[in-house]
Structures are given as structure tokens and as C-alpha cells.
């Protein structure tokens, strides 16, 4: 017998960034086992802040769907996005109506999806990934590896040096 009580959902933090160089989306996925997956997306088209937030949400949903997730918690610092998805706000702009329709359609592939608003401080990681993607000037795909440097690259010998005092004897 398999007991699924207490199964942790996948957590997905989404954010977007827009600047003079471009528009980007960032997602941070935390698997039920606690593994953190990070992804930056550069949008190859102009998008409003709200459109970019929806693109980030859709990217996150598509990635975890491809990874086999069934229960998902989405976290975003976008008040508009969260409230439209939760149906507290009505989407009026035709672009937002269509984004919301596609999000709702994608959410049907999961057994459970919760969308919550978080403070910007709780979403810094996704924000930094979105900013990275929006700031890249050229369209070259890249892999950015982040490594920990645990020790200085130089060795400074410490010890006792001979000291000569010049003066009165």
C-alpha cells in the first residue's frame, strides 16, 4: 500500500524583469525532495510588466508539468497576476484575458495548483534570474554555472618573523 499523505507539493517562484535591454522571466523550482532548479528566460518580444509576469508563470507551469509534477504551489510578488488567477480581480484587457485563459487551461493538467502572493523579499531569487535574462544584450544561449570557492586562491604563510630592534642596548 502506498500512502500519499504528507506528500510535499512542488514549489515554483516566478518573477519577471523589464529594462532598456529587454524582458526576462525567472523561475525557481523546489522539488518535493528539496532540490532547487533555476531557470532564466529571455523574452524575444516586447511585453508589459503584467504580460511578462504571465510568461514567467506559464514557463514555470510548463517546466514542472514536463518534470511530472501533480501538486504545485506557485509564488509570485505580482498582485495583479495572483488576484486575476485567484479570480479576485477580473482581467479586462484582451491580452490579460487570453493569458489568464491559457494559465487556467494549463492548470487543469495538475491535480492541485495554489497561487499565492509573496513579498518581493521572498521572491528575490526568481527576480535575480529574471533580471539576468532581461539584461543579456545578445541572443546567444548560455549556461551559467555558479560554483563555491571555499578557500582563497593564494596561500599566505603565517608564522613568526625575526624582528631586529635598532636602538639602545
Q: Residue 62 pLDDT > 90, yes or no?
A: yes
Q: Residue 112 pLDDT > 80, yes or no?
A: yes
Highest mean pLDDT among 8-22, 43-57, 94-108: 94-108
Residue 67 confidence (pLDDT):
94
Residue 73 confidence (pLDDT):
96
Q: Residue 164 pLDDT > 70, yes or no?
A: no
Q: Which domains does the chain have, with CATH numbers?
A: 10-135 (3.30.420.10)
Band of residue 103 on the pLDDT scale cut at 50, 70, 90: very high
Residue 143 confidence (pLDDT):
64
Stated pTM of the model: 0.77
Name the least confident of 11-25, 33-47, 97-111, 136-150: 136-150
- Cell 498582485, residue? 79
Of 65, 72, 94, 66, nearest in space to 12 by CA: 72
Residue 127 confidence (pLDDT):
73
Per residue in 38-58, pLDDT (tens digit) is 888 888 888 888 998 999 999
For 150, phi then psi, to 5°, come to: -85, -20
Amino acid at each position: 500500500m502506498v500512502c500519499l499523505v504528507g506528500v510535499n507539493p512542488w514549489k515554483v517562484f516566478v518573477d519577471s524583469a523589464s529594462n532598456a535591454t529587454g524582458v526576462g522571466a525567472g523561475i525557481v523550482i523546489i522539488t518535493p525532495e528539496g532540490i532547487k532548479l533555476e531557470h532564466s528566460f529571455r523574452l524575444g518580444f516586447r511585453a508589459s510588466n503584467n504580460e511578462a509576469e504571465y510568461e514567467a508563470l506559464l514557463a514555470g507551469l510548463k517546466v514542472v508539468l514536463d518534470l511530472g509534477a501533480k501538486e504545485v504551489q506557485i509564488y509570485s510578488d505580482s498582485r495583479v497576476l495572483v488576484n486575476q488567477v485567484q479570480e479576485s480581480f477580473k482581467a479586462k484587457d484582451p491580452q490579460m484575458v487570453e493569458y489568464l485563459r491559457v494559465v487556467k487551461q494549463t492548470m487543469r493538467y495538475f491535480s492541485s495548483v495554489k497561487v499565492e502572493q509573496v513579498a518581493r523579499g521572498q521572491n528575490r531569487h526568481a527576480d535575480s534570474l529574471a533580471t539576468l535574462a532581461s539584461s543579456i544584450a545578445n541572443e546567444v544561449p548560455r549556461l551559467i554555472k555558479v560554483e563555491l570557492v571555499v578557500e582563497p586562491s593564494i596561500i599566505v604563510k603565517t608564522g613568526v618573523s625575526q624582528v631586529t630592534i635598532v636602538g639602545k642596548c
